Structure 1
Amino acid sequence: MKKVDTTIIDTAVVPLGDNFYETGLLKSVAGGAVIKAGTVLKRSGDNFAILTNSSSEKAAAVVAFDVKNEKSDTADIAFRALISGRVRADKIAVNGTKATAAELDMLRACSIVPIAVTDLSRAE
């Protein structure tokens, strides 16, 4: 019997469609740091900051695509925050860990709808 090799193609894209964005600043990003797509954000005045404690902070947006601080010092980075629409549930992260059901519900409360997606695979 022939051995079947399976290749999974994961595009790693967070937004799925019907999305609205807001241009703003991501506050206090460490020098050289990359904020991964899918990171949940909170409001920080008129800008955004990384949500670190989902029990005491409110979700407001999601990083749609990786954001990198090109500077060597901590700085505020201009970017576009996803504030409404559909996103991949498996790509959402809070404080560097996969989002829980309660955290995904918190996103739904601010018009961001996490959807379960199965990546396509190809067998040869």
Structure 2
Amino acid sequence: MAKIETSTVDTSAVLLGNNDFETGLLAAVPANTIVKAGTYLKRDGEKFAVLTNPASEKVVGIVPFDVENEKSSVADVPFRALIAGRVRADKVLLNGNKPAVEQLDMLRACGIIPVTVTDVSQTA
């Protein structure tokens, strides 16, 4: 019998569909830093900011694609925030970590629905 080989291709895509976005600024991104796709966001006045304390801050969206500050100092970076729609539950990040179930519920409360996805690969 021939040996079957499989491979997994991870596209790192967060978005699944029915998505709504809001154009804005991501506040105070550190110099030469990338804010990863799937990162929870809060409001900072008229701007967005990375959510750091889920117990006291309200989620208003997530970063749909990596956002990079290419400057050598802290800066506000223009981007589009995901404010509603369906996302992969395994791709969202809270403080750089996978969120717990109750933290996924915080997304549902703001109109973002995290969905568990099972990847299927094809072999030849």
State the TM-score, normalizing by the size of structure 2. Answer: 0.96
Look up the match of 1:83: 83
Structure 1 residue 120: deviation in Å?
2.1
Look up the match of 2:123: 123
Structure 1 residue 96: deviation in Å?
0.3
Query: Partners of 1:86 and 1:70 in 2: how far apart?
Result: 29
Return the letter of the residue paired with 1:28: A
Query: Partners of 1:53 and 1:122 in 2: how far apart?
Result: 41
**Where do residues 89-108 of structure 1 align in structure 2 (5 Å cutoff)?**
89-108=89-108
Query: Partners of 2:102 and 2:32 in 1: how far apart?
Result: 31
Alignment deviations for residues 62-114 of structure 1 (CA, whole Å, 9 cap, x no partner):
00001000101010000000000111100000000001111110000000000
SS of alignment partner, residue 106 of structure 2: helix
Look up the match of 2:111: 111
Return the letter of the residue paired with 1:94: L
Query: Partners of 1:68 and 1:38 in 2: how far apart?
Result: 14
Aligned residues: 124
Q: CA RMSD in A?
A: 0.9
Structure 1: tracts of 5 or more residues without a match: none
On the 8 A contact 1:9/1:120 being kept in 2, the answer is no
Identity %: 56
SS of alignment partner, residue 122 of structure 2: strand
> Where do 4+ consecutive residues of structure 1 move more than 4 Å?
none
Structure 1 residue 56: deviation in Å?
1.4
Q: Which has the higher strand share?
A: 1
Structure 1 residue 51: deviation in Å?
0.6
